[in-house]
Amino acid sequence: MLIKPAIERSDMIYCALCKDAPCNSACLAMDPARALLGIWFDNQDVAAMKLPEKNACADCSAPCEKACVNSGSVPIKGLMTALYEKVKPEVEVAIPDDENRLKCDICGVPIENPFLLSSSVVASTYDMCARAFEAGWAGISFKTICSFDIHEASPRYSAIKGDNGSIIGFKNIEQLSDHSVAENMEIFRKLKENYPSKFILASIMGQDEAEWESLAKICEENGADAIELNFSCPNMQEDGLGSDIGQVPELVERFTRAAKRSTTIPVLAKLTPNVATMSPAAEAALRGGADGIAAINTIKSIVGVSPYTFASVPAVKGKSAVGGYSGNAVKPIALRFIAEIGQNPTLKGMHISGMGGIETWRDALEFILMGAGSIQITTAVMQYGYRIIDELKEGLNYYLVQMGIKSVKDVIGAGLDSVSDTTDVLERDTVLFPAFNLEKCNGCGRCVISCNDGGHQAIRFDDRKPKLDGSKCVGCHLCKIVCPNDAIEAGKKRIKKMDRP
């Protein structure tokens, strides 16, 4: 599972990942829709092992492809056959019988797996939270509770999309829960009554110390297992709230202390990424008594700048506003902040609840390796639904079994030693050349264009095949990144710069 998979998203790029998928209705032998989800969410091994023993696609006329809403665009039969012929023979271990390896905790409170919905619209009503619990999510961070009026704009979402329409980056200008405190407390009581083993993280936002204190207290009294202090929402109408607090460590400390005064359950400070470094605010939260840190919230952004552009912008009567940016595009930024907190010796022992661009189990694993003890997700759920929990749990569980790891808790922070906040630790005396797989190369020449105009003019084009000039190549691997056919790989051996051609 750690190497390049035999099948990737690009092989099914036009799959709509349908609700009640027509391909399933057309196939009597297997569940192709579930297998396609497995491929999309980087879970090919488990998808292959869940197929029937015999490959029913071999002599099939592929009615699934005819039934597909994008008929002719998704090679379902070919993908199922690839799972049988390329993936299944290579699987290393059987699908685990249980999910006990996923059990962990948030500040000592046990949870059945690391996966929670983050504070947003996806966890904002009783029905939504109940359906998420039924689907297999371990808990929710409920949409931020406040005692002031919320007035939302319409529309309030926009996105940067990939070529197939999937969301790469997502912008929102949405604010907090528009239900009253009393209504939200009724939801807490009902959730805790019907789902006593599920984790309720109560996200709150106050306007002064008294409100932070009272909201924390009432949430505990109505069933919350922990409190999350929202010091990071970038979308507030009024100044002095949300990320305005998270950017001032003194305010983080003061309001954390206020919330801790009134509650006995764990308190997490949810911090803003709209700062140069997160440690000052995290250390302030610790001084105020916080038991953990949640990070990151969305990043201040503009997507589209005027009604005359064609960008997808949430324009309200021709006007928009700076809002929060999320989605898979922000994952590298989120990981940077998680690693910063995880490596800070002053914060050692604090729980980190990580979020920011997580879609697959592999994304989640990266956060865990950087020190996150729990994972929160919103944007991927908004795009694909609560159903992704199956792929998250099965993929992570299978990885742990494959690697011989008994508990997910054993890998929390295991990757921190490999990360440096400077580039001084990197090897700089050798070059790793790219290697061209001419069997996969389609002769498009994109590598040549990029190397000529954005690199070091180290690739020439002979008979529509790329050839490397080792005397010029610096091993930057731009060519590998831009190749649309994955025909360029990293070389097998590093070469000392003095020994190069």
pLDDT of residue 165: 82
Percent of the chain with pLDDT over 90: 78
Amino acid in position 193 = E
Confidence category of residue 4, pLDDT binned at 50, 70, 90: low
Confidence category of residue 400, pLDDT binned at 50, 70, 90: very high
- CA–CA separation, 466 and 479 (whole Å): 10
pLDDT of residue 310: 46
242: number of Cβ within 10 Å:
26
DSSP E strands in 104-257: the ranges are 104-106, 109-111, 115-117, 139-145, 157-161, 167-172, 199-204, 226-230
Contact, 288 vs 260, CB < 8 A? yes
More confident residue, 395 or 424: 395
The answer, yes or no, to whether residue 2 has pLDDT greater than 70, is: no
Confidence category of residue 31, pLDDT binned at 50, 70, 90: very high
Percent of the chain with pLDDT over 70: 92
422: number of Cβ within 10 Å:
6
The answer, yes or no, to whether residue 355 has pLDDT greater than 50, is: yes
The answer, yes or no, to whether residue 279 has pLDDT greater than 60, is: yes
Read off the pLDDT of each residue in 90-98 and give the average, rounded to a whole number. Answer: 92
The answer, yes or no, to whether residue 309 has pLDDT greater than 80, is: no
485: number of Cβ within 10 Å:
14
The answer, yes or no, to whether residue 397 has pLDDT greater than 70, is: yes
Tens of pLDDT, residue by residue over 189-203, are 999 999 999 999 999
Greatest Cα pair distance in the chain: 75
- CA–CA separation, 489 and 24 (whole Å): 36
Nearest to 186 by CA among 212, 223, 214, 150: 223
pLDDT of residue 308: 47
Residue identified by tokens 């690739």 is 459
Tens of pLDDT, residue by residue over 454-477, are 999 999 999 999 999 999 999 999
pLDDT of residue 158: 82
Contact, 454 vs 404, CB < 8 A? no
Helix, strand, coil % in the chain, rounded to nearest 5: 35, 15, 45
pLDDT of residue 174: 77
- CA–CA separation, 157 and 378 (whole Å): 13
The answer, yes or no, to whether residue 486 has pLDDT greater than 50, is: yes
Q: Active-site residue numbers?
A: 233
Tens of pLDDT, residue by residue over 317-346, are 666 778 888 999 999 999 999 999 999 999
The answer, yes or no, to whether residue 306 has pLDDT greater than 50, is: no
DSSP-derived letter for residue 316 is B
pLDDT of residue 1: 43
Read off the pLDDT of each residue in 99-103 and give the average, rounded to a whole number. Answer: 98
